[in-house]
Amino acid sequence: MAQQKVEHDFQTMDWCRSKHAVVQGERMILVLRQMMKKSGRTSINEINAWIGGTRRPARTFADQLERAGYIIGDGQKPEGFVVTEKTKQIFTVKVIG
């Protein structure tokens, strides 16, 4: 039986065949939403608590979000992160009118 070609709009995660990629996308949304809910900086320990696992994967995850422009390190010790305008635009809806 021939496999049917499926067209995707690439606007949502449901086109992705890899369950790992979907899980990572869901983790990204979870972390960014949690960061938007709280005020101030977010630590690696907080990110770790939200995504589970150990500190090292949480650090890698934060690095990936920072490289993608969703969060930025605050340069303090221990390092904390804050959301960027890019993240605020995703999770904020402005009503005009």
Domains and CATH numbers, the chain: 18-91 (1.10.10.10)
Q: Record the pTM.
A: 0.71
pLDDT at 39: 81
Three-state DSSP class for residue 69: coil
Sites in the chain below the pLDDT cut of 70: 1-18, 20, 93-97
pLDDT at 10: 54
CB atoms within 10 A of CB 12: 9
- State the DSSP string of 11-39: SSGGG---HHHHHHHHHHHHHHHHHHHS-
Q: Please, what is the average pLDDT of the chain?
A: 82
